[in-house]
Amino acid sequence: MKEYEINDETLAILPNDIWNSIVLEDDGNYEVSQKPLEIVDYSCKYFGSSYPGRKEGAKNILNSGYKLPILIEDANNLIFFPTSSPADDDCSWISLKNLKKYTKGKDGNTIVEFKNNKKITLNISYNSFNNQVMRASRLESIIRNRKAR
């Protein structure tokens, strides 16, 4: 798969090596010849914006500047958040919409469960992951309230 656009069934985008990603979807996993951030940027462009544009929007809405969640596509409320700095080679992106729950794992990891009951273990502390979920939820809530006006 050459280029991938994030959709309703995308659960997570995980780095595989410095040039490829593994995309988790409801029905399977796919190797993609793009870095996670390239997938996020391509998807933003596919839906009429860009990663820098979406990042600037999130920055203004949240009044924050680092590890920002990104609204990929607003009609379907596709919000993804990074597990570390998006520039890092080990940064994964997680779908807020498809997240079911997350728990503390062993060795300081976080176990993430999606709505379809798929589970992954991420090398991020529970507290850091929880902060990212809260930040993404806040972005989603503010955007939803603005649309309702």
Distance between CA atoms of residues 64 and 33, nearest Å = 31
Distance between CA atoms of 99 and 64, rounded to whole angstroms?
23
- Neighbour count for residue 135 (Cβ, 10 Å): 19
What residues form DSSP beta bridges with 13?
23, 93
pTM: 0.95
pLDDT digit string (tens) for the chain, length 149 residues: 578 999 999 999 999 988 899 999 999 999 999 999 999 999 999 999 999 999 999 999 999 988 999 999 988 899 999 999 998 989 999 999 999 999 999 899 999 999 999 999 999 999 999 999 999 999 999 999 998 88
Q: Considering Cα of 133, then 134, then 138, then 139, what sign does the dihedral take?
A: negative
∠ CA 111-113-115 to the nearest 5 degrees? 170
